[in-house]
Amino acid sequence: MKRRTLFAAAICAAGLTLAPAAFAQDVIKIGASAPKTGPLGGGGAMTHWPNIELWVHEINEAGGLQVGDRQMTIELIEYDDQTNPEIAIQNIQRLATIDNVDFIVTPYSTGINIATAPMIAQHGYPHITTSAATDGVAEFAQRWPNSFWMLGTATQLAVGAVEAFSKLRDAGEIGDTVALLYVGDAFGQEHINAAKPLLLEAGFDIVYEASYPFGTQDVAPIIAAAKAAEPDSFMAFSYPGDTFALTEQAQIQGLEVGAFYTGVGTAFPSFRDRFGDAAEGIMGIGGVNLDDPKVADYFDRHEELTGSEPDYWASATTYAGLQVLAQAIEETGSLDRAAVIETIQNGTFDTVIGTIDFVDNVNPNVWTVGQWRDGKFVAVAADGIAVGAEPVVKPAW
């Protein structure tokens, strides 16, 4: 008798432990590995992590994703890659083979996305990148059919910059001469390769051209030399650190031009906060169309939950990439990764940056140039998508 009671108790206990296990299956495990420390820690903290937080929060708040006939909430497992490809690869391996996550969201930056791409492909996860703007995307998409590229190419961004300048010039607002600067690394090189021939073709006269090493602190001599060439417009393919430094020096030295364009970092809210009214009219990579109610709504939600304004370039794209993943899972109706990849390849998705319809795994519709107008970084050039406004000439500092 005693033994029988014990047996019954054991069965009950087994039943109890099984029950939560059955509930546990209604959770989708999502893995994330991106920098929290290291050189890109700041970028990750502004552009990458808040969007993941917002996305997970909103889905769980709404009760989860509808996967087939099940309602599944999201459990997020996150790791810091320290901006180090070695660690990033190790994190992906851990997510795939130890944590056994159902899906992995994109790592941050071109370099780490490429370093981890073979590993993500090997485990068969969809890989929707939202922070890699390079001309290699077509080649990567072909190499890893599970990978999708949403932020556009260096050529698209350069074309946009030249278009915006051409519009102002054709309207008689600025002259033909331009000073051209670029940071001496992969990013600057790709952009200058695309922009220079386009500028010459458009009839611009490059009166000053220079590159500077990545990490240059003192840009005063560069701005002085650019000013000496007396250009009508100024175009720099720069990184956040130098974007701020170049703008500051241009302001101090009084480099008056009708069109002033800098690279990554111009779209940061901190750029506007740093330069205040002087930021008015400055152009840079990125931009969003705040006239679109979906974009405006996204900005409000982002600020409300994370307490910070999103940046005006890759933030919305990062969020859109997550939206694509969620919609593809729901549309597929299962957690079968190969089927989800197929859905992403063939489907269309309604996101904060418009309708996404991948062409050979690349999203061709992107905002390319933004301009600071009354504290907002409005898209003034785009490829395949509506702009928020037409570019205007920059007022004096």
Partner 1 sequence: MNSLSQKEIIIGIGGVLAFALAACLPLVDQGYYLSLAVNITLYAALCTAWTLFSGPTHYVSLATAAFFGLGTYAVALWVDVLPFPLLVAFGALAAGALAGIVGAATLRLSGVYFVIFTLGLAELVRQIVTWAQATFTTRMGLYVFTDLREMHIFWMLLALTAVIFLTGWLINRSRLGFAMRIIGDDETVARHVGIDTAKSKIVLFIISGAFIGIAGAICAPRYGYIQPTSAFNPMTSFLVVIMALLGGTRKLWGPIVGVIPFVILMDFITVRFSNYMPVAMGLSFLAIVFLLPNGVTGRLEQAWNKFQSRKSAPSSTETAA
Binding site for partner 1 (CB under 8 A): 36-37, 39, 79-80, 82, 84-87, 89-91, 93-94, 96-98, 110-111, 114-115, 117-119, 122, 134, 136, 143, 184-190, 193, 211, 213-214
* Backbone angles phi and psi of 113, in degrees to 5: -60, -40
- Nearer to partner 1 by Cβ, of 31 and 354: the residue is 31
Beta bridge partners of 177: 205
The CB-of-47 to partner 1 minimum distance in angstroms stands at 18
Are 363 and 354 in contact, with CB atoms under 8 Å apart?
Answer: no
Query: In the complex with partner 1, which residue's Cβ is closer, 191 or 373?
Result: 191
Report the nearest approach of partner 1 to the CB of residue 118 (Å).
7
Judged by CB, which is closer to partner 1: 17, or 217?
217
237 CB-near residues (< 8 Å, 6+ apart): 158, 181, 182, 183, 187, 188, 191, 192, 195, 263
- Which CB, 32 or 382, lies closer to partner 1? 32
| CB of 87 or CB of 138, closer to partner 1 | 87
Provide, rounded to whole angstroms, the least separation between the CB of residue 235 and partner 1.
18
DSSP assignment of 32-43 equals: EEE-SSSTTHHH
CB of 60 to partner 1, least distance (A): 22
371, 288 contact by CB (below 8 A):
no
- The phi and psi torsions of 168 (rounded to 5 degrees) equal -65, -40
Angle between helices 337-346 and 314-332 in degrees, nearest 10: 120
Residues shown for the chain = 397
Residues 392 and 171 sit within 8 Å (Cβ to Cβ)? no
Alpha helices in 25-109 (DSSP H): 41-43, 49-61, 85-97
DSSP 292: S
Distance in Å, CB of 79 to partner 1, minimum: 6
First to last CA, the chain: 92
Task: Give me the least distance between CB of 176 and partner 1, in Å please.
Answer: 26
**Nearer Cβ to partner 1 (89/168):** 89
**What residues contact residue 80 under an 8 Å CB cut-off, 6+ apart?**
33, 34, 35, 36, 37, 87
CB of 216 to partner 1, least distance (A): 11
Closer to partner 1 by CB, 119 or 235: give it. Answer: 119
Nearer to partner 1, 203 or 215 (CB): 215
Q: Which is nearer to partner 1, 75 or 256 (CB)?
A: 75
Question: Minimum CB separation from partner 1 for residue 225, in Å?
Answer: 18
Q: Which is nearer to partner 1, 186 or 296 (CB)?
A: 186
Write down the least CB distance from residue 272 to partner 1, Å. 28
CA gap 375, 281 in Å, rounded: 10
Contact, 261 vs 246, CB < 8 A? no
CB of 301 to partner 1, least distance (A): 25
Q: How far is CA 42 from CA 38, 266, 270, 277, in A?
A: 8, 15, 12, 25
Contact of 261 with 178, CB cutoff 8 Å: no
